[in-house]
Amino acid sequence: MTIPASPMTVLEAIEQRRSVRAYTQEMVSKEAVDVLLAAAIRAPTAIHEEPWVFVIIQDIQRLQRLSEQVKKHFIREAAHASLHRGGQTLSQTFSQPDFNVFYDANTLIVICTDNPRPFAVADCWLAAENLMLAACTLGLGTCVIGSAQGALNTPGVKAQLGIPAEITAVAPIIVGFPAGQTPASPRKPPRVLV
């Protein structure tokens, strides 16, 4: 599948992309997912390894169960660290029964690799940015859920999701239709050292 033409330029997509944390219940179509994957695999890749493989989950109940597993895993791992967000520790946020780490999005795309080479993880993150910019041009919101990475790499979760043991989850990204506007977050100016 080819990526459809969009009236949005790359620079406009970069400017308009947001980490969206509120979604409608409208399902992301298979066609849209195909476009996102087509964009992801066009990312730069060291020595043309193309190390990425994808896990796609579009089952709301499964995502809710996975959210609970991620929360428990994250709380255990973060117990000794004082990770703060808005004056509240992330462990406190993750302990709230109604908190869903996937923000009720109906699609999770996990960019993974089975390649142990040094640049495989970097290549997956490049694919992630392509995917998120493509989603923006389609009117979809995305958010990297880094807190899910640890749980997605545990043997139990891998077994539940059918992910082979040798696969490493690198970039968990939720995708969906934004519920309302997400304001731009401020950015510091570039620091040029030399």
In tens, the pLDDT along 26-85 reads 999 999 999 999 999 999 999 999 999 999 999 999 999 999 999 999 888 876 565 555
Q: Which residue has the higher pLDDT, 184 or 173?
A: 173
Structure confidence at residue 87 as a pLDDT band (50, 70, 90)? very low
Please report where in the chains the tokens 């989950």 appear, as a residue.
57
Tell me what pLDDT residue 95 has: 86
pLDDT in tens, 4-17: 556 789 999 999 99
Q: Where are the domains of the chain?
A: 16-176
Burial class (CB within 10 angstroms; exposed 0-12, middle 13-18, buried 19+) of 137:
buried
> Cβ distance 19 to 144 under 8 Å?
yes
Tell me what pLDDT residue 85 has: 54
Q: What is the CA radius of gyration of the chain?
A: 17
Tell me what pLDDT residue 91 has: 73
Judged against a pLDDT cut of 50, whether residue 106 lies above it is answered with yes
Q: Sign (positive/negative) of CA torsion 46, 48, 51, 56? A: positive
pLDDT in tens, 117-176: 989 999 999 999 999 999 999 999 999 999 999 999 999 999 999 999 999 999 999 999
Q: Which CATH superfamily is domain 16-176 in?
A: NADH Oxidase (3.40.109.10)
